[in-house]
Amino acid sequence: MLGSFAGSSSHEEEEEEPSVPPNVYLHQQQITPPRTSLGSPPIHMRQLLISCAELISRSDLSAAHRLIAILSSNSTPYGDSTERLVHQFTKALSLRLNRYGAATTSAALFMIPNNPTAGSTSNFGSSDDHALIQSSYLSLNQITPFIRFCQLTANQAILEAMEGQQAIHILDLDIMHGVQWPPLMQAMAERYPPPTLRITGTGDDLDILRRTGDRLAKFAHSLGLRFQFHPLIILPNEDPISITSSILLLPDETLAVNCVHYLHRLLKNRDRLHLFLHRLKAMGPRVVTVAEREANHNHPIFQQRFVEALDHYAAVFDSLEATLPPNSRERLAVEQIWFGREIKDIVAAEGENRRERHERFRSWEVMLRSSAFSNVQLSPFALSQAKLLLRLHYPSEGYQLHILNGAFFLGWQNQPLFSVSAWH
């Protein structure tokens, strides 16, 4: 089973649309030595960014413009990790500053590079930009351990919770391209007798959901696994309560709910989130898996949110610097499109426009326990699989795994970045 989890996800990724550049792992032969940085940019650049954020908060716009000019001249998307980080945060601060200027629409807060290797931009929302975001997600899944760590650990928790169950229903909140599920399907197909598997996958793009379902069905057929897929459209501003009322659970099915990088989007309305969690609990799931960023990007005070984001993404960019070659086009695209979009959202957007509302595990622990959930201890086998993932695919001494209150934490150097936990 260990081999299934560590290696079979590549089978699914070869079929993904849009495609990921081939032979990403060949770059691992060019890996640079781990950096000794503590996950923060040099103190003077970090302080300049923080000072600029403070100036914008005080509406000292002329001084903020001068600082942004200095920061822009000392950063580039093609330099070292500090220069690239400063570049992304300077762009986000510039967008926030422009909110106080003339005629900036809210859509401008979500502009992303039209071509990751060029300087042009286009408004997020076009079909080309949507394809770029989807492609950058698949690249992120290839070149970093973050998504794989979360999905791998969640899969193992689901597998162990479903031991002996013959009809399994997984509700995957925001299934994306479904890259999480082929390893779990393969592990289930190896059981005797193999269970039936039904996945309800949510998303806001019906075409992507249908293609995801077709790929998963094809893979299940190749394994001889009885499988059904149901797409469930959930629009960005739709009340999440509608999800729980749209799920039909058959009498003999055992339910698992997968919340990987999803719940933070619901934090704009805590009352509705609490009600959503209570409704999930009422559905009687055998296990609920939760993966989130280990960062507080939802602080109501902008300056504190800014510093928290700066330290979090400094560690992320440092990890990419240590595990990918300097000329990696995949890293450039992931930093500018995927992480760049997140940074702009956290820094430049406010109110209802802000989507990336990450909070730390201790906040999720309180919310889940208050909704009558109990923590499920993740197994030693799940920990050994996560260690193997890092050792095989992302060889660097900088990645660290920790266990606290039954949850797993993946970090870079001394900075925790992601948490995974299981609940029932």
Tens digits of residue pLDDT in 115-138: 333 333 333 445 567 788 888 888
* Interatomic CA distance for residues 74 and 122, integer angstroms: 24
pLDDT of residue 238: 81
Domain range enclosing 308: 33-143+300-353
Give 317's pLDDT tier (boundaries 50, 70, 90): very high
* Interatomic CA distance for residues 113 and 121, integer angstroms: 4
Assess if residue 325 is contained within a domain. yes
Under 8 Å between Cβ of 280 and 171:
no
Q: Which residues are registered as beta bridge partners of 122?
A: 112
Under 8 Å between Cβ of 165 and 195:
yes
Q: How many domains does the chain have?
A: 1
* Interatomic CA distance for residues 74 and 88, integer angstroms: 12
Give 353's pLDDT tier (boundaries 50, 70, 90): confident
pLDDT of residue 397: 87
Kindly calculate the radius of gyration of the chain based on its CA atoms and give it in whole angstroms.
Answer: 21
Task: Classify residue 235 as exposed, middle or buried by CB count within 10 Å of its CB (0-12, 13-18, 19+).
Answer: exposed
pLDDT at 19 over 70: no
pLDDT of residue 49: 97
What is the arithmetic mean of pLDDT over 329-354?
93
Assess if residue 155 is contained within a domain. no
Give 312's pLDDT tier (boundaries 50, 70, 90): very high
* Interatomic CA distance for residues 232 and 226, integer angstroms: 20
* Interatomic CA distance for residues 213 and 210, integer angstroms: 5
Assess if residue 12 is contained within a domain. no
The single residue listed with the structure tokens 């997984």 is 170
What is the arithmetic mean of pLDDT over 137-143?
90
Structure-model confidence comparison of residues 325 and 386, the more confident one: 386
Average pLDDT, the chain: 85
* Interatomic CA distance for residues 133 and 357, integer angstroms: 19
Assess if residue 385 is contained within a domain. no
pLDDT at 18 over 80: no
Give 12's pLDDT tier (boundaries 50, 70, 90): very low
What is the arithmetic mean of pLDDT over 315-337?
92
Assess if residue 117 is contained within a domain. yes
pLDDT at 4 over 50: no
- pLDDT tens per residue, range 192-221: 999 999 999 999 999 999 999 999 999 999
Q: At what angle do helices 43-57 and 302-323 cross, to 10 degrees?
A: 150
Give the dihedral of Cα atoms 309, 312, 316, 319; nearest 10 deg. 150
pLDDT at 2 over 60: no
pLDDT of residue 400: 95
- pLDDT tens per residue, range 151-191: 999 999 999 999 999 999 999 999 999 999 999 999 999 99
- pLDDT tens per residue, range 153-162: 999 999 999 9
pLDDT of residue 32: 30
pLDDT of residue 230: 96
Assess if residue 148 is contained within a domain. no
Give 337's pLDDT tier (boundaries 50, 70, 90): very high
pLDDT of residue 29: 27
Assess if residue 19 is contained within a domain. no
pLDDT of residue 10: 36
Residue 416: asked if its preceding bond is cis (omega within 30°), the reply is no
- pLDDT tens per residue, range 80-120: 999 999 999 999 999 999 976 543 333 444 333 333 333 33
Give 246's pLDDT tier (boundaries 50, 70, 90): confident
Give 48's pLDDT tier (boundaries 50, 70, 90): very high
Assess if residue 98 is contained within a domain. yes
pLDDT of residue 100: 61
pLDDT of residue 72: 94
